[in-house]
Amino acid sequence: MDARQLRILRELGELGSVSAVAQALLVTPSAISQQLRLLQRSIPVPLTERSGRRVVLTAAGQALADAAIEVETALARARHTITDFLEQPDGDVSVAAFHSAGATFFPFLLHHLAGPGSPRLLLADEDVAQDRFPRLTRDYDLVLAHRLDHAPSWPRTVTVTPLLHEPLDVALPVGHPLADKTRLSPQDVADQPWITVHDGFPLLATIEAIGTAANRRLDVVHRINEFSVAAEAVAAGAGLALMPRWTTRRHPSIVLRPLIGVHAQRHIDALHRPERTARKAVRTVIAELRRAAAHIQNRDTDIPRR
């Protein structure tokens, strides 16, 4: 049993197939299969079994894969035992974020971590379906991800730093008849045309919940993931949309109104693999993300609260 074999077992548990592990680790499927066979020789119970055409983990295999997380964390710390490296304050830290989080958090990080001795930020935008955010932690030190209140929790394979619990409001054009209301119910908005995200993205579940509460299917006219583009469509009278209260830039021609009667909130979290925080630079960026979240939530706003 060695660290590489345990890494392969861990990745198999997360990715679900030998071919996916091979692609992630940039090796051939036969090399992955060979390492799994070598690992199996040192273990008295089966670690994998066939499920149709796929190789999946047994219960024992999953237990060892879970333990592999602790092994990787320990090895990561062992590789960084040189104090100068562990405490290096200005190391590179890669941060990925979905669009509205990037637009909100990246300027704060760039401003507050600009001085000498600060971490060197490597920023990227990653707008993916919810179940793909944890996989991004293989490629980035920190991943800003979002999920709805009622969505499944993040998997145990990642560490979660909660940042914001953000309300989702209804966006409508200035002068719209519903703009005079301080709060909107599903019944108020069910007969309106809607602009929403593509299938697989979290906000769609809230749109479906609005329709369920109003006992009718909403008329979804446009599919736009980027909130700034959706805001322009709302301003042009193309329909209503759900907009995050704190992480979207104000548009002068639209207003936001709280939605009652359904769970309309999302969690914004920083995800990372446990071993990443062995580095001081990563811990520094996490601390700044927390500061940014507190600043964002406490900003003055003219949006009515529930």
Residue ranges per domain, the chain? 3-79, 83-165+266-298, 166-265
So what's the pLDDT on residue 306? 32
How far apart are the C-alpha atoms of 305 and 257, rounded to whole Å?
Answer: 9
**Residue whose C-alpha is closest to residue 227's, from 188, 256, 205:** 256
Q: pLDDT tens-digit profile of 66-86? A: 999 988 888 877 777 766 777
- Which residue in the block uniquely carries the two structure tokens 């198999």? 12
Answer yes or no: is pLDDT of 303 > 60.
no
CA angle 99, 162, 144 (to 5 degrees): 25
Over residues 16-64, the pLDDT tens digits come to: 899 999 999 999 999 999 999 999 999 999 999 988 888 899 999 999 9
List phi, psi (to 5°) of 300. -65, 140
d(CA 16, CA 3): 19
CA dihedral 253, 259, 262, 267 (to 10 degrees): 70
| CB-based contacts of 280, cutoff 8 Å, min separation 6 | 86, 87, 88, 89, 91
Residue 15 tokens, joined: 């990715």
What per-residue confidence (pLDDT) applies to 75? Answer: 80
- How far is it, in rounded angstroms, from Cα 225 to Cα 203? 9
Q: Could you tell me which of 234, 179, 227 has the C-alpha nearest to residue 203? A: 227
Q: What pLDDT is attached to residue 49? A: 92
pLDDT band for position 302 (cuts 50, 70, 90)? very low
Q: What is the residue type of 126?
A: E
- Band of the pLDDT at 305, cuts 50, 70, 90? very low
**Percent of the chain at pLDDT exceeding 70:** 96
Fold of 166-265: D-Maltodextrin-Binding Protein; domain 2 (3.40.190)
Residues 234 and 179: their CA atoms lie apart, in Å, by 13
Decide if 83-165+266-298 and 166-265 have a common fold.
yes
Q: How is domain 3-79 classified at the architecture level of CATH? A: Orthogonal Bundle (1.10)
- Give the strand pairing for 92-97 and 142-148: parallel
Reduced 3-state DSSP string for the chain: CCHHHHHHHHHHHHHCCHHHHHHHHCCCHHHHHHHHHHHHHCCCCCCEEEECCEEEECHHHHHHHHHHHHHHHHHHHHHCCCHHHHCCCCCEEEEEECHHHHHHHHHHHHHHCCCCCCCEEEEEECCCCHHHCHHHHHCCCEEEEEEECCCCCCCCCCEEEEEEEEEEEEEEECCCHHHHCCCECHHHHCCCEEEECCCCCCHHHHHHHHHHHHCCCCEEEEECCCHHHHHHHHHCCCCEEEEECCCCCCCCCEEEEEECCCCCEEEEEEEECHHHHHCHHHHHHHHHHHHHHHHHHHCCCCCCCC
pLDDT tens per residue, range 107-150? 999 999 998 999 999 999 998 888 899 999 999 999 999 998 88
Structurally, at CATH architecture level, domain 83-165+266-298 sits in 3-Layer(aba) Sandwich (3.40)
